[in-house]
Amino acid sequence: MRDFLNEKELNTLNHSCAHVMAQAVKHLYPQAKFWVGPVVEEGFYYDIDLGDKTISEEDLPKIEKEMKKICKDGKRIIRSEITKEEALEKFKDDEYKIDLINHFEEGTVISVYSQGDFTDLCRGPHVETVKLCKNFKLIKHSGAYWKGDKNNKVLQRIYGVCFPTKEELEEHLNFLEEAKQRDHRKLGKEMGIFMFADLVGRGLPMWLPNGFTVRRLLSDYITDKEVALGYRHVMTPSLGNVKLYKTSGHWDHYKEDMFPPMEVDEEAFVLRPMNCPHHMVIYKNSLHSYRDLPIRLAEVANDFRFEASGALTGIERTRAFTQNDSHIFCRPDQIASEFKAVAALILDVYKDFGFKDYEFRLSLRDSEDKEKYFGNDDLWEKSEAELRHVLEEMGVNYYEAKGEAAFYGPKLDVQVKSAIGHDVTLSTIQLDYQLPERFELTYVDENGEKVRPVVIHRAILGSLDRFIAFLLEETKGNLPLWLSPKQIIVLPVNNKYHQEYARKVLDDLRKEGFRVELDNRDEKLGYRIREAQMRKIPYELVLGNSERDEGTVTYRQYGQQKQTTVSYDEFVSLIKDEIKHKSI
C-alpha cells in the first residue's frame, strides 16, 4: 500500500484533489461549508456541513462527475497571502473558517489557494493545475463530529484517493477490493465466528460456536507449548481492588483507559485492563530462593479497556478481549537466556502459522514525557541497556521507536505486516525493574540476602481476538485444517442410496476426533458443494455408489476442482498427518 502521508508528491497531489472535491461539492450544494481536508493514511478526506442534506452512496458518482469537469477545465492553482483581518472579512459567512482563523496569532500571514471559482484556506503546497488531479476515486463517506467532539454538530466526511497515473489508481482500487474481501468483519460474519449486539454493548464481542472452537484450539495450542517450556498456568479474577492498581501504577498512568470503579461493601473495584498486578501478588504469596528462579506464570486471561467508540474495529480493537499473557520472575543473570527463550518461542509460533513478513521494534520511553512513564531514570537506563545488549547478543535486526515503551519499562514488539498492508503488533516482550519495586517482591540470593527479581512481561499470541482477526485476513478465512471450526463435510450424492454409508463415515470420523458434519439436505449436489466452498470447509467428501460399494471416499479440498478417491483409512491417515504437522 502506498504511503500517502510520507510520499511527498503523492501527499501534495491528494491534498490538491481534496480541494477539487470541495469545489465540486460547492457547485452541487451551494450551501456547503468546509472544515478541514487533510491527507491521511488512506488518501484524503474533507469534512463538510451541508445543512439538512446527508450524503448517500448515490451522491458520490455525481460528485465525481463534477470533479472530472473541473479537472478537464484545467484551471491553475494559485497561492495568495492575506492578513488575518483580510481572512476574517473574506470568510465572514463561514463559521468554520472563522474558527480556524481566530486561532492564528495577530500579524500572521495566512495563505489561501484558488482554482477558478473556489478559494480555501490552506498551508499547501499544491500541484500547479487541477488537470493533474484527474486520476481519482471517491471511496466512502461517513459522519464525523466537528473537531471530533461528540457535543458538536455531525459533519459529512467524504474520503477519496488520487494518483499520478490511471494504472496506479486501478492497482490501488484492486488492492482495496482485495482488502474488502479479506476484512475480518466480513469473514467473521460469513463464517459464523463472532457477532456484536447493541443490546449487549459496543465493543463487546460474542463468540459463536465456530469462533469459540477457534479460540479454544488457539488457547490449547499456546498453553501446550508453554507447559512444555516450564510455564505454570494460573487463573485470576477479571477485576481487582483499586488499591491493587494504585500499587502497580496503573491508576495514575492508565486510569483513563480503564472502566470506572464500582463501589461494593466499602471497596472500589475495577475491571482489569491487564494481568501483571495479579501475577505480582501471586509471586509475593510465597518465599522464593534464587534456586527457584525463573518462575514463569502464565494465563489466558480476560481483560477490559475503555476504548473510544471511534477506535473500535471488529475484534481487532474491542473493550473486552483475551490475552495470552505471562510474567517471568528471574534473576538479573537470567535475563538474557529468558529473553532469548521467549524470542525463540515467538519465532516457533510464527513458523507454525507461516508468518514471514515481520520485524523487531525496540520500544523505548520518551525521557521528556515525565507524566507518561513512572520510575527512576537509573532503572529505565538500566533496562533499556539490558534490552539492547540482549538483542545484540541474539544478532537480530531491529529498529528503535522512542515513546512506544510501556509506562513501566521498555519492550521488544514484533511488528507483523498483514495481507492488507496493516502494521500489527502481535507479540511483545517487556523488561521491568519497576513493578518488583512497587510490590516489594524479593527472593533470597546465594548470600542469604533478600533482593529484587526482574520481571519479563511477554505475550506470544497477544490478544487472541486480534490474533484471530489477523489470521482471518491473512488466510482470507481459509484457516489451516487443525484450526478450522469444521474440518470435513460429508456429502451423499443421493440420500436414498448413499445416506447410510455417509452416516457411517460421519460417525467413524467423529470417533477419530475430527470436526465433521453431514449435509444431507434435499438439494442438488453441486449446490451443496458450492455452499461448502463458501463456508471455507477444508475437505468435502462426496460419497456415491462406488464409494459405498468399495469402502472408499472421494475428497475435494477447499479452493480446488480436483477430486481424489482413496480408501477410508488412507484419508484418515492423510488428515491426521496434516493436523499433526500444522500444515499451512
Q: Residues 516, 560: one domain?
A: yes
Residue 210 lies in a domain: no
Name the residue among 96, 119, 102 with its Cα closest to residue 36: 96
The C-alpha cell that represents 153 in the structure block: 454538530
Look at residues 428, 460, 475 and tell me which one is the last residue of a structural domain.
475
The domain in which residue 85 lies consists of: 8-182
Q: Answer yes or no: 325 catalytic.
A: yes
Q: What is the rounded average pLDDT of the residues 329-357? A: 91
Residue 365 lies in a domain: yes
Q: How confident is the model at residue 433 (pLDDT cuts 50, 70, 90)?
A: confident
Q: What is the CATH number of the domain that holds 558?
A: 3.40.50.800
Q: Which residue in this structure is represented by grid cell 483499586?
A: 242
Active-site residue identified among 323, 334, 434, 487: 323
Q: What is the rounded average pLDDT of the residues 207-234? A: 96
DSSP code at position 75: P
Q: Is 126 annotated as a binding residue?
A: no
Q: What is the rounded average pLDDT of the residues 461-485? A: 94
Q: Residues 491, 466: one domain?
A: no
| Buried residues in 56-93 as b, exposed as e (16+ CB within 10 A) | eeebbeebeebbeebbeeebebeeeebebeebbebbee
Determine the 3-state secondary structure of 536 from DSSP.
Answer: coil
Q: Residues 369, 412: one domain?
A: yes
Percentage of the chain beyond pLDDT 90 is 65
Residue 353 lies in a domain: yes
Q: Is 498 annotated as a binding residue?
A: no
Q: Residues 368, 249: one domain?
A: yes
Torsion angle in degrees (nearest 10) through CA of 459, 460, 463, 467: 160
Q: Residues 296, 279: one domain?
A: yes
Q: What is the CATH number of the domain that holds 41?
A: 3.30.980.10
Q: Residues 491, 464: one domain?
A: no
82 sits in which H/E element: strand 78-83
144 or 407: which leads in pLDDT: 144
User: What's the pLDDT at 370?
Assistant: 64
Active-site residue identified among 120, 303, 325, 413: 325
The C-alpha cell that represents 426 in the structure block: 502481535
Q: What is the pLDDT of residues 131-188, one digit of tens each?
A: 999 999 999 998 888 888 888 888 999 999 999 999 999 999 999 999 889 999 999 9
Q: How confident is the model at residue 55 (pLDDT cuts 50, 70, 90)?
A: confident
Residue 128 lies in a domain: yes
Q: What is the rounded average pLDDT of the residues 70-98? A: 91
Q: Answer yes or no: 333 catalytic.
A: no
Residue 189 lies in a domain: no
Give the range among 223-237, 245-259, 339-353, 407-421 with minimum mean pLDDT.
407-421
Q: Answer yes or no: 19 catalytic.
A: no
Q: Residues 436, 321: one domain?
A: yes
- Counting the structural domains of the chain, the total is 3
Task: For residue 318, give every residue at least 6 positions away whose Cβ sits within 8 Å of its Cβ, in sequence order, or none.
Answer: 203, 204, 205, 307, 312, 465
Active-site residue identified among 137, 184, 411, 528: 411
Active-site residue identified among 276, 278, 330, 413: 276
Task: For residue 98, give every residue at least 6 positions away whose Cβ sits within 8 Å of its Cβ, in sequence order, or none.
Answer: 88, 91, 92
Q: Residues 273, 226: one domain?
A: yes
Q: Residues 237, 252: one domain?
A: yes
Other beta carbons less than 10 A from residue 420's beta carbon: 17
Residue 449 lies in a domain: yes
Residue 147 lies in a domain: yes
Active-site residue identified among 19, 327, 486, 528: 327
User: What's the pLDDT at 269?
Assistant: 96
Q: Answer yes or no: 250 catalytic.
A: no
The C-alpha cell that represents 444 in the structure block: 533470597
Considering 91-100, 366-375, 566-575, the range whose residues carry the highest mean pLDDT is: 566-575
Q: Answer yes or no: 232 catalytic.
A: no
DSSP code at position 446: T
Q: Is 162 annotated as a binding residue?
A: no
User: What's the pLDDT at 13?
Assistant: 95
Residue 188 lies in a domain: no
Q: Residues 362, 304: one domain?
A: yes
Q: What is the CATH number of the domain that holds 378?
A: 3.30.930.10
Q: Residues 438, 537: one domain?
A: no
Active-site residue identified among 2, 279, 305, 528: 305
Q: Residues 360, 505: one domain?
A: no
Q: How confident is the model at residue 400 (pLDDT cuts 50, 70, 90)?
A: confident
Look at residues 447, 475, 503 and tell me which one is the last residue of a structural domain.
475
Q: How confident is the model at residue 401 (pLDDT cuts 50, 70, 90)?
A: confident
Give CA–CA dist 156/144, Å, rounded: 6
Helices (H) and strands (E) in the chain, counts: 18, 28
User: What's the pLDDT at 540?
Assistant: 95
CB 339 within 8 A of CB 326: no
Does the pLDDT of residue 421 top 80, yes or no? Answer: no
Look at residues 414, 445, 475 and tell me which one is the last residue of a structural domain.
475
